[in-house]
Amino acid sequence: MEPWVVALDAVGSIVLLTALLLGGLVARRRWISHREPTFDMSVRFAGFEGVRGWTLGIGRYRGDRLQWFRVFSLAIRPKRTFDRFRFEVVGSHEPGHPEAYALFLGHVVVDGRIDGEPVQLAVSPAALTALLSWLEAAPPSRRPG
């Protein structure tokens, strides 16, 4: 077989695999958001500073849980789940100059705690309002503190 035919087959295979991967990511996003609305939400756990540690994702409320899915994953289960009764918002701030490049445009950083462990979420201002409302809407008998 001619070398150019082998090279053409290799390029065609790469293009096909790329198209299948992108199609899978789109299908997954549609599946995640088909029943409940979703919003862009990045997460960073303790131990990272500056730009490092941020992972882009998708947030979705389901009952008393905030589910978080990674953007670049084919998994249909959430990577992390935040329980309403264990999550506490400590404060919020605008991302610093280098940090803003690692996040979605216009997002606000929310400093929080889960069982005393620090966690940061980056959400749009509208999603921050929704998050605070969701946390405050917990039944009085189940609110922490």
Residue 3: Cβ within 10 Å count: 7
CATH of 36-142, one of 2.30.29.30, 3.40.50.11290, 2.40.50.100, 3.40.50.300: 2.30.29.30
DSSP states along 51-105: TTT-B-EEEEEETTEEEEEESS---SS-SEEEETTTEEEEEEEPPPHHHHTTS-T
Average pLDDT score over the chain? 86
- What confidence score (pLDDT) does residue 143 get? 52
Question: Tokens 């991302």 correspond to what residue?
Answer: 95
Dump pLDDT digits (tens) for 62-77: 989 999 998 888 788 8
pTM of the model: 0.79
Amino acid at 81: T
